[in-house]
Structure 1
Amino acid sequence: MKFTKILQFCAIVLSLSSCNDNDEENYTPITATYPAVEAEFGSSVDLNNLANYANQAVPAYITKDNSALNPISDKGATLGRILFYDKKMSVDNTVSCSSCHKQEFAFSDNTIASNGVNSTTGRHSMRLINTRFATESKFFWDERAASLEIQTTMPIKDHGEMGFSGANGDLSFNDLIVKLSAIDYYKELFKFVYGSEEITETKIQFALAQFIRSIQSFDSKYDTGRASAPNDGAPFANFTAQENQGKNLFLTPPTFNASGSRTGGGIGCAGCHRAPEFDIDPNTKNNGIIGTLSGVGIDITNTRAPSLRDLVKVDGTTNGQMMHTGVITSLQAAIGHYGTINIAPGNTNLDPRLTPGGIGQQLNLTAAEVNSVIAFLRTLSGTDVYTNTKWSNPFN
């Protein structure tokens, strides 16, 4: 009897296996449905066919990565993209993260001060290119946010920017959570990403940070040259003589005489902006620009900078103004600033690398040297980041 039952069981298993084999080409996988997401976003967000955020190609020579505590996932970054572009994240539904960080300007702004719900930003909006590939983990120009995760919700809780401050008559961040919890597409999205419809600030922070860290740019002329070169300092075969000269000037430290004038070498930009990521050295201090957007007082606390990648577009046009005050509007002006450093009264935080022997550096660059550095900086720009739909507005 037992033997007969075993034979019957085996026959059922073999029958099922045979059916699966024979019908494999006709098998249609069951996909989940997300009616609210589909109604709001149409084909721009497909939760059954996610964009690749987690496994993008990264060049072997890129070694810095600050995402270990919050690894990028396709699900998390998809949610982050929607949060990044959603104007419902502001108290009056007029402003989103993308209002100050625009894809067409390498996720910076083309105005000196960005518009918020109640006022303008106190500093120029920083570009969000390759934030993952940096040693520095603090954010904002003055590094007041200990991590990108913490930074992501600080503008939301700012009275002037997005308005959920919980002070001065503003709604609180908890009011935002209540607001989002009533939106059907967020019910589906948070359940999809976290297994629960519950929305918390930490979940918002993690998703936004994953999306921002996913924004990467490695399709530049520099990357093509670096991929076939043994190191950053070697001549790049695809560079012009001018671009290679600019690279050498950028990478090579200068030598100075007792009066602070350059006597040889390069101009040492890489001492703070470190190749090949071109991220900012966490130990940098103020760069000599101490103005404020209000024009009142001085601001010497600004010690951070974004990556120099996509500082301008490939054609040389700017991605908005530069520096925390937006006072620099061209590469020539940026190089000129570092060419003659004046130690302004009250600037007790000036980076010592700019003051050899305690004297403001005088690089004494020739016109040819300036043009070669400009040519090199333009090689750091790609094209994909400006148009790739996975970083675009899903509400369009």
Structure 2
Amino acid sequence: MKKLHFIMSMCCVITLFSCNEDDNYETISTDTYPNVTNTFGTNLDLNNLYNYANQNIPSYITKDNSTENTINDKIATLGRVLFYDKNLSSNNTIACASCHKQEFAFSDTSVSSVGVNGSTGRHSMRLINTRFATETRFFWDERALNLEQQTTMPIKDHGEMGYSGLNGDLSFDDLLIKLGAINYYKELFKFSYGTEEISEVKIQKALAQFIRSIQSFDSKYDTGRANAPNDGAPFNNFTAQENQGKNLFLAPPVFNSAGSRTGGGLGCAGCHRAPEFDIDPASKNNGIIGTIAQTGIDVTNTKAPSLRNLMRMDGVLNGPMMHTGGITTLQAAVGHYGTINIAPGNNNLDPRLTPNGIGQQLNLTQAEVNAVIAFLKTLSGTDVYTNMKWSNPFPN
């Protein structure tokens, strides 16, 4: 009886160990998904999935917009393939990763990104820590209600990826048929969702999970914040200049009746909120209302990416900043907020930039500018640029 009881107990353990769909313990034969193996080789090992679902998140990071689409390793793996697959464009030349490149913190160094029928109307924003933000809307003008909706909008855009169904373009349904005929997608959708059926909702869910998994918490700032009681306390790993810059970033300014700063900080954190450095959902435009085409004005841009990983550790920016791509140095970015001019026609300027109805004058000293720049540099890590879980799974 003891022997039988032991055998039954072991069977229960083996069953639990191999059959839980949320775990990756069950060994998958290469014969089960031969087209995945033939296409991706060792770049995609379904027996050893990367950890997307349970990455380490610092305790001081509290914002999380993934609750409606919880990250799953299998589905995020499918999202990785979709993100890098040029088959998602009408002429097989453009992928999501064409405009959001890992080596530039998932942004683009070009002012506008090249699509199948032209260029993007706005600069491609960085996709860092999109999960850790209160603002759920996407694109600079927030026209997508959430990341899931956003993921297929570039695919349906005539200029970007070409499946608009308009102006002679094929439709998104045509893309679904196209993907359904690709053998590795039959296998990956079955692996991820339990069925070969491909739908827009499944594509959106997978892409959003992969994008939300892209996180960066290995910066000098994070090292300091982990050992501090709050954002405002001095960080013991910061230089005096970096701590000064942090204080200036966090503290609100004091203005006189003419809109001129007489004390306090710069108030950056009013819109870019520490420690996630996400954009306040209530933010309006920041005074930059130009367009890449330099025709007319655009006052609808009210969203911004996290300020994390503005630049690499070598000091090189991850592309130009703002929706126009018109600001190319941190000094120019800080300087823009130093003197806000209320341009004719700008009826959507953030009121925090117009104390007493007048464009703010921060009266920055060079030492203050240098300190804020030094602080912004502490928000960059290294892992996001080289981690294989976010890399291109297709062989070169």
TM over 0.5: yes
Distance 2:79 2:197 in 1: 16
User: Which amino acid is the alignment partner of residue 28 of structure 2?
Assistant: T
Distance 1:304 1:32 in 2: 46
**Match of 1:321, SS?**
coil
Q: 2:4 aligns with which of 13, 27, 41?
A: 13
Deviation at 1:88, TM superposition (A): 0.4
Is 1:209 the counterpart of 2:200 in the alignment?
no
CA contact (8 A) 2:111 2:324 kept: yes
CA contact (8 A) 2:28 2:46 kept: no
* Deviations 1:21-44, CA, capped at 9 Å, x for gaps: xxxxxxx97533311001000111
Deviation at 1:352, TM superposition (A): 0.3
Q: After the TM superposition, which residues 8-157 of structure 1 pair with which residues of structure 2 at under 5 Å, given as runs?
A: 10=1, 13=4, 30-33=27-30, 34-157=33-156
Q: Which residue is equivalent to 2:22?
A: none
Deviation at 1:312, TM superposition (A): 1.3
* Deviations 1:350-381, CA, capped at 9 Å, x for gaps: 00000000000011111111000000000000
* Deviations 1:38-60, CA, capped at 9 Å, x for gaps: 10001110111100000000000
CA contact (8 A) 2:27 2:47 kept: no
Structure 1 runs of 4+ aligned residues shifted over 2 Å read 10-20, 28-33
**Match of 1:263, SS?**
strand
Q: Which residue is equivalent to 2:164?
A: 165
Give percent identity, aligned residues only: 75
Q: Which residue is equivalent to 1:280?
A: 279
**Match of 1:255, SS?**
strand
**Match of 1:344, SS?**
coil
Distance 2:385 2:6 in 1: 54
**Match of 1:55, SS?**
coil
Q: How many aligned positions are there?
A: 381
Q: Which residue is equivalent to 2:354?
A: 355
Distance 1:319 1:307 in 2: 13
Deviation at 1:391, TM superposition (A): 0.2
User: Which amino acid is the alignment partner of residue 220 of structure 1?
Assistant: S
Distance 1:350 1:19 in 2: 66
User: Which amino acid is the alignment partner of residue 73 of structure 1?
Assistant: N
User: Which amino acid is the alignment partner of residue 13 of structure 1?
Assistant: L
**Match of 1:245, SS?**
helix
Q: Which residue is equivalent to 2:329?
A: 330
Distance 1:310 1:124 in 2: 16
User: Which amino acid is the alignment partner of residue 123 of structure 1?
Assistant: R
Distance 1:19 1:140 in 2: 52
Q: Which residue is equivalent to 1:5?
A: none
User: Which amino acid is the alignment partner of residue 179 of structure 1?
Assistant: K
Distance 1:215 1:291 in 2: 30
**Match of 1:179, SS?**
helix
Distance 1:12 1:183 in 2: 50
Distance 1:373 1:172 in 2: 47
**Match of 2:97, SS?**
helix
Is 1:339 the counterpart of 2:338 in the alignment?
yes
Distance 2:252 2:2 in 1: 78
Taking structure 1 as the reference length, the TM-score comes to 0.94
CA contact (8 A) 1:314 1:379 kept: no
**Match of 1:63, SS?**
coil
Distance 1:247 1:11 in 2: 66
Is 1:369 the counterpart of 2:368 in the alignment?
yes
List runs of 5+ in structure 2 lacking aligned partners. Answer: 12-24
Taking structure 2 as the reference length, the TM-score comes to 0.94
Query: Residues 30 and 327 of structure 1: is their aligned pair in 2 closer, same or farther, counting only changes over 3 Å?
Result: closer
Query: Residues 153 and 267 of structure 1: is their aligned pair in 2 closer, same or farther, counting only changes over 3 Å?
Result: same
Distance 2:94 2:179 in 1: 15
List runs of 5+ in structure 1 lacking aligned partners. Answer: 1-9, 21-27
CA RMSD of aligned residues (A): 1.7
* Deviations 1:296-318, CA, capped at 9 Å, x for gaps: 10000000000000011123210
Deviation at 1:61, TM superposition (A): 0.2
